[in-house]
Every structure is written in C-alpha cells, then in structure tokens.
Amino acid sequence: MDIHEYQAKEVLAGFGVAVPTGALAYSPEQAAYRARELGGERWVVKAQVHAGGRGKAGGVKVCTSDSEINDVCETMFGMKLVTHQTGPEGKGVYRVYVEAAVPIAREIYLGFVLDRTTQRVMIVASAEGGMEIEEISAEKPESIVRAEVEPAVGLREFQCRQIAFKLGIEPGLTQQLVRTLQGAYRAFTELDATMVEINPLVVTDDNRIIALDAKMTFDDNALFRHPQIAELRDKSQEDPRESRAADRGLSYVGLDGNIGCIVNGAGLAMATMDTIKLAGGEPANFLDIGGGATPERVAKAFRLVLSDKNVQAILVNIFAGINRCDWVAEGVVQALKEVEVEVPVIVRLAGTNVEEGQKILAKSGLPIIRARTLNEAAERAVGAWRNDLSQGVTVRAVS
Ligand code: ADP
Ligand code: MG
C-alpha cells in the first residue's frame, strides 16, 4: 500500500526525520488559509497523488501570495495529474499539501529498499538528488552509494557516517544525516515498509538536513499489525477494481487486455498470463481466489472480473492441491447460474479429483469451454475472444 507524501512525512517525523512545516488542504480557500496560518512569504503547493514526478508534471508550484495559491489550486484540484509514474490516465488530485518553501543548497537522493538477493534492507543514496533514481542510475551510476543493513544489529552509526562521507556531507552536518538515516531505517523496519524514498533530501542554506519529499510503501500482508498505517489508505488513488477486490478479501490486479483470469495462486496467475500472451491474447486482469474456493468466493470472483468492461472472455485456471476440483467445479457452475455471464468461459482444472470436476462441468449443461492443459485453455480463450468458432464450441455462456 502506498501513502501520500504528507502522510509519509508525518510518519518519518515521528521517527526523528526533519521535515518542513506544512498543512493539508481540501480546497483552494483552505490552502490559502493554511498558508496564512503557516506564515512566511514563500510556500510550495504540492498535489497529493500516489506517484512521483509531480514537479515536472505541474503538481508542485512555488507561490508567494494568497491569490497565487488560490489560482494554482484552482487548476490543481480535480485535475488528473499525469506523471511518468501514473500511466496515461493520471491520478486525481483531491488534496494538496501547502508547505513552507525551503532554501535549498543541495539535493540528495535517499532510498531504502528490500534487496531480495541479499535478503536485507539496502540503502541507496546519491549526491545527484532531485533526479529520479532511474535517471541517476542511467546517467550517473558512479554517484550511487549503496549500503546493506545487517538485520541482527540494525543500522549502525559508522555505516551512516560512511554514507555521509561518500555523499560529501560537511562534517558539521554528519550528525543530522545519521539521525535522518537511522530514523528512516527504523520507520522502514518497525512499520513493515517495503520502500522509503526521500527525494530530495536537502541541505538548506542555513545548514539543516530536511526531507523535502517522502514516499513510503507498506507490505499489505503486514498492515493488520499497523492499524494506524492501514487507516492512511486513500482509495481515490487506487485502481477501483483493485480496491473493490481488496474489500472482498480477493487479490486482484487490473491490466489492459480483454481476457479475464480467475486463478488460484500468484505463480499460476503469472504462468496463465504468460500463456495467454503466447497464444496471442492480452490479459484484462488476474484474480487470485486463493486456497478455499467456495462457490460464494467463485461467484464473487466472476462478478468482479465481469465488472471490468474490457473483459471479453474469462479463463478459469485452477490447480487443486489443497482445493478439490469437484468443489471448484461446483463453484463455477453455481457462479454461472447466479451471475449473468455473457462472455465465453473457459475452464481448465487440474489436480485432486479432476475427473469428478470435469463431470460436474459436463453435466451442468452450461456452455463452458473445457480445456485439459494450460496451453489448450489459453488457445481456446484467445480463440473464443476472437470469436473463432473453428474450434467447434459455443462461445456464449448465459445464466
Ligand atoms: P516530485 O518528486 O513528485 O516531483 P517533490 O516533492 O520532490 O515532488 O518536488 C519536486 C521539487 O520541488 C523538489 O526536487 C524541490 O526542488 C522542489 N520542492 C519541493 N518541496 C519544496 C519545498 N518545501 N521548498 C522548496 N522546494 C521544494
Ligand atoms: Mg521527489
């Protein structure tokens, strides 16, 4: 789960990371009012969306008066901000953060990520702040400083000092950098984050080290341990299909093609999508119904997949290990009787009780296209989607 910049700043501030003073606003009037409350003469108005690259896309503006804040906000609110991280559809701006403008002397890149190879938290830093990390690694790879954290002892001061030295931080400011690094590391580990990015971390004209931007991503599977973080979820920034699935306890990933996939297990989902692509199709989404595929769960899955208007065929691919194919088949049949499905449905079952499962599908009298192997299923799904009747099957399933 991602959170907004202002939320990440509040979280990090709680761990001792210095951030500028700022306040949140839901309307242009409120933004101007917030600026007056903050005081000072220069403010930065920042669109709150779950994506970086806002500066270049017009989502970060420096203002020097009430009326300017008002004008900037009039265009920002309600706009779909398109940055290189949002995709062409953009992300809606419904909140802005008004912040005191900070006199920047230097911008530094700082990131904390999980390095799967070493199974450790990796700190990635660069003296070339302000640029995105992808640009830095393409253009100035030599500027990147990396450090691994040994989980048993945590981030040690000497490591932080090493990083400070490599970034060319003035000795007098090292202690501030140590505090920032250790604070961000503690926030990362204690809150089960998967990413913390401070870009830029700045050194100000008056020698303060401040996080000017902040991004945090959390492990969804650990959110139950952090209700205060789970509360920060902003559904307006998520794919509505995915949030609806999450609310129903299903895991769903929306994509751009036409073939809806109902599968069990993420690995099988990946294999299913690969095979669809190989057969010349494009997956519209994938929905993982997980281990216990009760008929109710399968029906929910169908409803969700169908709510995506792009879906022109549904491929159900289940490998029953803990599940049983006969139960899954019952679920599919029940779902097709309950939910009006007007697109071809292709079902491939494998594993425990597969024969019984096939019988249930055959006996149902429903126009389900059956397949024995994943290849066959993918080819039939793509064929059915293209309305290719040469396979000798009916391609309409209705309740
Ligand atoms: P994004 O990464 O989405 O473009 P940032 O928060 O990093 O958004 O802002 C972009 C740039 O705007 C920063 O690199 C910095 O130069 C400037 N900026 C952002 N916040 C402030 C601030 N409070 N004071 C001064 N400049 C700022
Ligand atoms: Mg940034």
For 342-389, the pLDDT digits (tens) are: 899 999 999 999 999 999 999 999 999 999 999 999 999 999 888 744
Q: Can you say how many angstroms the Cα of residue 125 is from the centroid of all Cα atoms in its chain?
A: 23
Would you say the CB of residue 4 lies under 6 angstroms from ligand 1? no
Q: Tell me the Cα Rg of the chain.
A: 26
The DSSP code for 381 is: H
Q: Collect residues with CB below 5 Å from ion ligand 2.
A: 199, 213
**Residues 261/276, Cβ–Cβ less than 8 Å:** yes
Name the closest-CA residue to atom 10, ligand 1: 55
State the closest ligand 1 atom to the C-alpha of 52, by its place in the atom list counted from 1. Answer: 3
48 vs 152: CA distance, rounded Å = 36
Q: Which atom of ligand 1 is nearest to the CA of 130?
A: 14
DSSP per-residue string spanning 278-330: HTT--EEEEEE--S---HHHHHHHHHHHHTSTT--EEEEEEEESSS-HHHHHH
* Separation between Cα atoms, residue 325 and residue 359, nearest integer Å: 10
Q: Where are the alpha helices (DSSP H) in 26-172?
A: 28-38, 66-76, 133-139, 157-167
- Decide whether any atom of ligand 1 lies within 6 Å of the 200 Cβ: yes
Element (H, E) at 189: helix 174-190
The verdict on the CB of residue 52 being under 6 Å from ligand 1 is yes
Is the shortest distance between the CB of 197 and ligand 1 below 6 Å?
no
The ligand that comes nearest to the alpha carbon of residue 59 is: 1
Q: Which residues contact residue 86 at a Cβ distance below 8 angstroms, ignoring those fewer than 6 apart?
A: 49, 51
- Ligand 1 contact, 133 CB (< 6 A): no
Question: What pLDDT does residue 293 have?
Answer: 67
Query: Separation of 11 CA from ligand 2 center, angstroms?
Result: 17
Reported as a single tens digit per residue, the pLDDT across 255-287 is 989 999 999 888 999 999 999 999 999 999 989
How much distance in Å is there from the Cα of 334 to the middle of ligand 2?
50
Q: Look up residue 222 and give its two tokens.
A: 């650990």
Q: Which of the residues in the chain have pLDDT under 70?
A: 292-293, 388-399
The reported pLDDT for the residue numbered 130 is: 78
- Which residues 6+ apart lie within 8 Å of 114 measured at CB? 120, 121, 122, 194, 195
User: By alpha-carbon position, which residue is closest to atom 9 of ligand 1?
Assistant: 55
Q: Which residues are catalytic?
A: 109, 197
